[in-house]
Amino acid sequence: MTISIETPALLFSATSLILLAYTNRFLTIASIVRGLKKSYDETESKRTALEIKNLNLRVTLIRNMQMFGVLSLFFSVFSMTLIFFEIPMWDIYFFGFSLLLLMISLSLSFWEISISANALRLHLSDLLKKKF
């Protein structure tokens, strides 16, 4: 089996957009954490502390998502280099490895989104109890 240099290049646009989305999530959560930290310093609420703990896990997941996404892009580029220098078989292995890293990154993203959705459901349940 052989692959052309265009095959790993297909990951560039997708990986770049994914990394941009991850960065946006990170910046949003960082802003929320700063606000909650200020709130916690004023009230020392247990609920706020739990929210900060939840967000800390999400920040860790996003960091790992970014790391695996960048490694995926790196190994994709390395695979293209091997194709360019006509080093057979290893190019396929490194490209396959880059796909595996991308799958890990996307799996972590799914986990982080699940945590986020559960946190939002908790906030909505409190609101629904008060309003209705």
pLDDT digits (tens, 9 = 90+) for 37-67: 898 899 988 888 888 899 999 999 999 999 9
Give me the pLDDT at residue 123, please. 78
Contacts of 104 (CB under 8 A, 6+ apart): 68
23 or 12: which carries more pLDDT confidence?
A: 23
Rounded to whole angstroms, the Cα distance separating 65 from 20 reads 11
The DSSP string of the chain is ----THHHHHHHHHHHHHHHHHHHHHHHHHHHHHHHHHHHHHH--HHHHHHHHHHHHHHHHHHHHHHHHHHHHHHHHHHHHHHHTT-TTHHHHHHHHHHHHHHHHHHHHHHHHHHHHHHHHHHHHHHHHHH-
The dihedral through the CA atoms of 91, 97, 99, 105 has a sign that is negative
Give me the pLDDT at residue 116, please. 93
Give me the pLDDT at residue 75, please. 96
Give me the pLDDT at residue 132, please. 58
Which pTM does this prediction carry?
0.87
Question: What pLDDT digit, counting tens, does each position of 63-112 carry?
Answer: 999 999 999 999 999 999 999 999 989 999 999 999 999 999 999 999 99
- If we measure between CA atoms, which residue out of 55, 68, 69, 67 comes closest to residue 25? 55
